[in-house]
A = this chain, B = another copy of it.
Amino acid sequence: MKPFADLSRFINPRNVAVVGASARESSQGRRLYDNLVLHSSVPGEVYAVNPAYQEIGGRPCWPSISALPEAEIDVALIMINATLVLDALRQCAARGIPFAVVMTSGFSEAGEEGQRLEREIAQLCESTGLHVYGPNCPGFVNVRDRLGMTFSPAFKDDLNAGSIGLATQGGGLGRNLLQGLSFGQGVGLWFSAGNEVDLEIPDFIAHMANDPKISVIALLMEGVKHGRRLTAALELARARNKPVVVLKVGRSEAGVRAAQSHTASVAGTAAVNSAVFRQFGAIEVDDLDQLLAASRLLTRITPKSGNGLCIYTFSGGTAALAADIAGAAGLPMAVFAPETKAALCKLLPDFASMDNPVDTTADILRNPEASAACLRAICADPQVGTVLFPIPMDYGSITDGMAQAIATVAAETDTLIVPVWMSRRLGGGFQLLETAGLLPFLSLSDAIAALSKAIPWKLPAHESAAAPQQMAAAAGKGCMLSEAAAKSLLREAGLPIPEGVVAASAAQAAQEAERLGFPVVMKVVSAQIAHKTEAGGVKLGIASASAARDAYAAIHESVARHRPDATIDGILVERMLPPGGREVLVGVHSDAAFGLVLTFGLGGIFVETIRDVAHRMIPLSRHDARALLGEIRYAEVLDGVRGQAPADLTALEDLILRVSDFAWSHRDALQEMELNPVWVGAEGQGAMPLDALIGLRPGADPALGQRQP
């Protein structure tokens, strides 16, 4: 994996060059140059480069990068025709300029010629160590140090700096976030590297994870280019205790192939992305306003915030509604200390509700001091970590006073106060809360959704499995092993597999069934048949030798009818496991971005309909395996319902880890595998795959280097 770039000289360059600086007013080249010369604080020089000019705005201009005077230039900003870019970059590399920002469009987004140009840029980066940011991007903005390496005319208004670090792909929407963060904690750094030929989202995450002035990382992503670099960067952010909030746009289905097993189609690329974000502790959101809200909340969350939620308002209906929505979201409600209740009793009328949710009643509206005193008493309660303060109506100067009381108390306390301005009349009270940086939400549901995403964020002590290498991409058509062959390989790898024999005749089937003990199951063995049931190739609960003989004939007859193309290699006769076992699925498939991914979930015929599955990147740690068991809805069934004994979770964990190890050690050969159903007995009874499917990449050794079955 390519190491993360050290961006310190990029973030705070001493001298910069503007290649394509223009004297023409309102041209992009002029706006870029002006942003640096007039609106930025560059410690050193801003060198203009353009053969068409001797000077721009009274300052000198040079004909080329090579012609620039001796100086340590950290960043070259390039805004010239796409065909000239490569030459300019070569000059940068030759002079030892470490970073170049290519804003010009007309590269891979424009067609084949552009793609070729990009490949040449990538090669130049690799051979010289030059780092390129772009092409086809709006540039980079360092708000906190007043540095606008961008041609955006809006840069001069980007004045509200803060500890939120932002990285976007396809920069347009980043401006929406900057506008939303005009008050309170704003954006410190905004990366938007367009086509990402070299520097990419993981580099920016890694930089921000290490940057002490960034406290929250917000991402707006369109695609995942190098999955393992992304996860490594997310892991770094987690290690540095920096929450990462991500909005993933334009979920590509490119990674979903028409897989032979069902696992890949259930997983899909969007589901895998979400699972990976969860696995690496990133908070995924669905919309831009949620990205903004969760990021802002995370800058305000204190160690106390998670202690418990208090709902505080002056309308009974609002209190009930808020408690309803918070309850549905599973936010824990604080229980007041006796002192808190005593304080409220002194301040509020008798008919107020002094328990959580607090309804002060409208009596308090004309008394902002009492309002502030109540809020202070609640914030002082150690059990109250967060106060949700819905304001249902705009009452003009009355709610202005209420807003002022909130702002005053919020500035004094380490309890998180989250106001919700529910009225569509956004009067003075709303404006006051907004400019005080309190980010008043406009709906209860939105506020509670953001809280429930932001508050649980903490760093669990986590033993992460190392995953240093990236999978080779799958290509062409591989081969599918028969159930018997797959089971044999898995038995070799130490997985528990039901006792069974492949019979070549009805008589042998009957004899082996007698030996194994009734009841048995019988299944067709054929490398061409992935789904045996559909072909009539499976018979369950065979209770006698004569039934075994009948089943042998019936399977042959049915398979010949349904799949005349398939070669029947025999009939597998297996001991049937005791009834009452729970059925789960353990699958592995190869994701285009993240390599091998393990899927665990509800098994049997439910796989595709109920879609109760969870995912983890391979290899898994024991911690991962355990967490996975709890992530499906079916989890309760494993714990035992209706008097049922708990399932053998230890055995299931072992099995999952063995699958992970097996898949990881054969990662170059393995395309996919599916164990479905996996039978899970009660505690102590173990867990066993009843069916197994293994798909190999083209050219892989079907024995995977093990003893041939």
Closest to A318 in B: B173
| Residue A53, interface by CB 8 Å | no
Which of chain B's residues have a CB closer than 8 A to the CB of A321? Answer: 173, 247, 249-250, 287-288
With A320-B250, A426-B426 in contact, is A179–B533 under 8 Å at CB?
no
Chain B hits for A220, CB < 8 A = 317
Query: 16 interchain pairs (CB within 8 A)?
Result: A170-B320, A173-B315, A179-B425, A182-B424, A220-B317, A247-B321, A249-B320, A287-B445, A288-B392, A288-B444, A535-B643, A605-B637, A605-B642, A608-B642, A609-B634, A609-B636
Interface set, chain A 155-208, CB cutoff 8 A to B:
170-173, 175-176, 179-180, 182
A392 is contacted by which of B175, B320, B392 (Cβ under 8 Å)? B175
Distance in Å: Cβ of A440 to nearest Cβ of chain B: 10
Is A292 among interface residues, defined by CB-CB distance under 8 A? yes
Q: Assuming the A-B contacts A180-B423, A634-B610, are A289 and B445 also in contact, with contact meaning beta carbons closer than 8 angstroms in the complex?
A: yes
How far in angstroms is the closest Cβ of chain B from A603? 12
Q: A220 to B220: give the CA distance in the assembly, Å.
A: 37
Q: Is A394 an interface residue (CB 8 A)?
A: yes
| Contacting pair B316 A170 (CB below 8 A) | yes
* B-side contacts of A426, CB under 8 Å: 426
Provide the residues of chain B in CB contact with A316, threshold 8 Å: 170, 172
Write out the residue numbers on chain B whose beta carbons fall within 8 Å of the beta carbon of A288.
321, 392, 422, 443-444
Bound Cα distance A642, B180 (Å): 49
Tell me which residues across on chain B come within 8 A of A249, comparing CB atoms: 317, 320-321, 324
Asked if residues B540 and A543 are in contact (CB atoms below 8 Å), the reply is no
Residues from chain B with Cβ under 8 Å of A180 in the complex:
423-425
CA distance A474 to B199 in the complex (A): 69
When distances are taken between beta carbons in the complex, the residues of chain B under 8 Å from A425 are 179-180, 182
Shortest beta-carbon distance, A5 to chain B, in Å?
25
**How far apart are the CA atoms of A390 and B208 in the complex, in Å?**
31
Let me know if A126 is at the binding interface, CB within 8 A. no
The answer to whether the Cβ of A69 comes within 8 Å of any Cβ in the partner chain is: no
Cα–Cα, bound, A74→B392 (Å): 34
Inter-subunit contact B393/A175 (CB<8 Å):
yes
Known: A287-B325, A317-B170, A641-B605. A176 touches B423 (CB 8 A): yes
Question: Do B605 and A633 touch across chains, with their CB atoms under 8 A apart?
Answer: no
Binding site for B on A (CB under 8 A): 170-173, 175-176, 179-180, 182, 220, 222, 247, 249-251, 286-290, 292, 315-318, 320-321, 324-325, 392-394, 422-426, 434, 442-446, 518-519, 531, 533-535, 540-541, 543-544, 579, 605-606, 608-610, 612, 633-637, 641-644
**Measured between C-beta atoms, what is the minimum distance from A645 to chain B in Å?**
10
The answer on a CB contact under 8 Å between A643 and B579 is no
Beyond A425-B179, A543-B518, A608-B636, whether A392 also contacts B642 by CB under 8 A is no
A394, B605: Cα distance in complex, Å: 51
Question: Are B179 and A423 in touch, CB under 8 angstroms?
Answer: yes
**Chain B residues whose CB sits within 8 angstroms of the CB of A644 once the complex forms:** 533-534, 605
Could you say which residues of chain B place their CB within 8 Å of the CB of A424? 179-180, 182, 292, 434
Which listed residue (B182, B250, B289, B610) contacts A612, Cβ 8 A? B610
Contact among B315, B444, B641 with A609 in the assembled complex (CB-CB below 8 Å): B641
Known: A608-B636, A642-B533. A317 touches B173 (CB 8 A): yes
